[in-house]
Amino acid sequence: MEARTLRLVLPPELWDHVVDNLSSDRPSLGACGLTQRAWVASTRRHLFHDIILKGTARCEQFRELIIASSSTGTGIARYVCDVMLKDVCLHVHVSRLEYPNTSDVPLLEKTLSLLPNVDCLCLWDVDVQWWEVLTARTGDALDGGYPDLPLQSLFTLPRLQTLYVSPCVAFDSLSDLVLLLAAFPQASSLQLHDLSVKHPGPARWPPLLPWNRNVDHESLICIRNLCVTTFREMARLRSALRQPPFRCALQKLSWTFRPIHFVEPEEDVDTLMDVLRDAESTLEELKIICIAQSNFDVFPALSTRMDLSLQSRLRILRVHLLYAMEATSNPYQMSFPVCLSRTPTSLRALHLDIQLSTSPDNTTLPPLDWSSLDDTLTLLHKKNPSLVVYMRFDYGLLRQNGRLPEAAQPLRSQISSALRVGLRVRLVVGGYTCGRGHSVLQDKLYWL
């Protein structure tokens, strides 16, 4: 009997949907890619979309794989979009733009330059050092002078949009961080999470870099998306990003408040207010994450200071409240509705996510001042009839067989006035079980 060739009875675009359903099953994706040539592009789009280059050996291996696939006409380089660098050294002689023998930059450049479609670069557990001016540090690196020449982009990534700097990257000074950001002029989105600076710098930021004093406005590094967890040098970082070679035209801002030693909550709020003032005419989406702890109460200061009515283009507001049930006080009880009441008429979507850690199974609604919140939501609807409110409650259940509480009907009762005037509210109830055998429960969705 003659071998029969496998024929596709569906058009390729429908097979793409079939392959998409296997996106989390890498062995099956690999098998599909070897079964039918028409499936190769779809499977490789998932298999090689995100890659991790851990150490120089792994980087060399991946470079050889890219070259080999290119020679056979089945190139994989064009499918790589997100790259994470781990356990590598980014050492640069800033005065001569050279790389010492301990730097992995030349090797990484040989590999990354073969990837034309990288739009996100993540630095994780990376050793960053700007040599020479930093070796005899007595304070901030740029205090004693600047490099003679401007920094060039570390890697050839023409489509890079997002630079993610993880908590595993520690900097000697704020100047190290600023020099790193300046070395990626293509990136318009900065994701800076839980950063740490070993040596606090001077009270002022140094003057403009010499080569940028007469720079053309259009050639500056334009930052449109900033996602940051506040840290000790946050105010100075904001000052640095307002000077060449940077300019801020923020359209999206994500701000996470967390307890920091030697930093008062009011200081963090001051810095956020400064950033919001800078972005009054450009900001379209704002996300604020607050962690409620007995020794860290930022919401009273935030609610009295933040006036979003001045953000003329703001369309989406996201508020995430992480609340510990064992806390002795409830910082969101009175101040939260006040904070929401001052929003612009341009607002179209309000997202309210509340996570209750280790909550008892009989808990129904988060502990808010629901009467005041009902009045606030009613006011918002009258001001913005097109506004849609998206709520999400996540419960930490103590029992392994715990069930999600019935929150929809209690919520309807608590915000009845807002619902009567026509406010559209979508509620998602989710949760997880605590302790051994941790598991995530399936979400429940309601339109109220």
Written as tens digits, the pLDDT of the chain (448 aa) is 455 555 556 666 666 666 666 656 666 666 666 666 666 666 777 778 889 999 999 999 999 999 988 876 667 888 899 999 999 988 877 655 677 777 888 899 999 999 999 999 999 988 887 765 444 444 444 444 444 444 567 888 999 999 999 888 878 778 788 888 888 988 999 999 888 887 766 544 444 455 555 555 566 789 999 999 888 888 888 888 888 778 899 999 999 887 665 566 677 888 899 999 999 999 999 999 887 665 556 777 777 788 898 899 999 999 998 865 554 455 455 566 777 888 999 999 999 998 876 555 556 788 778 888 999 999 999 999 999 999 999 888 776 567 788 889 999 999 999 999 999 999 999 988 876 667 788 899 999 9
Do 305 and 438 lie in a common domain?
yes
Q: Is residue 213 part of a domain?
A: no
Residues 113 and 30 in one domain: no
| DSSP letter, residue 406 | -
78 and 90 together in one domain = yes
Question: Quick check: helix, strand or coil at residue 35?
Answer: helix
Helices (H), ranges, 241-362: 265-278, 299-305, 332-341
Supply the pLDDT for residue 71.
74
φ, ψ dihedrals at 109, nearest 5°: -65, -40
Q: Do 308 and 432 share a domain, yes or no?
A: yes
Q: What is the pLDDT of residue 277?
A: 92
Q: Is 5 among the domain residues?
A: no
In this structure, the answer to whether residues 38 and 68 fall within a common structural domain is no
What is the total count of domains within the chain?
Answer: 3
Domain boundary (142, 164, 186) is at 164
- Domain boundary (144, 164, 184) is at 164
* Number of Cβ atoms within 10 Å of the Cβ of 211: 15
Assess whether 138 and 25 both reside in one domain: no
Same domain, 136 and 255: no
Distance CA 157, CA 402 (A): 48
pLDDT score recorded for residue 396: 81
Q: What angle do CA 169, 194, 314 make, to 5 degrees?
A: 125
Domain that holds residue 149: 48-164
Q: Does residue 206 sit within a domain?
A: no
Q: Are residues 75 and 32 located together in one domain of the fold?
A: no
How is residue 48 written in tokens?
């090689």
Identify whether residues 279 and 324 lie together within a single domain. Answer: yes
Same domain, residue pair 406 and 259:
yes
pTM of the model: 0.84
Strand intervals (E) in 110-245: 120-124, 127-131, 162-165, 170-171, 189-192, 196-197, 221-229
Task: Look at residue 214 and tell me if it is in a domain.
Answer: no
User: Residue 193 falls within a domain, yes or no?
Assistant: no
In a domain, 179, yes or no: no
Please tell me whether residues 128 and 224 are part of one structural domain: no
Q: Are residues 233 and 349 in the same domain?
A: yes
The partner residues of 82 in beta bridges, in order of sequence, read 50, 120
Let me know if residue 191 belongs to a domain. no
Other CB atoms closer than 10 Å to residue 148's CB: what's the count? 11
Residue 321 pairs in a beta bridge with 290, 354
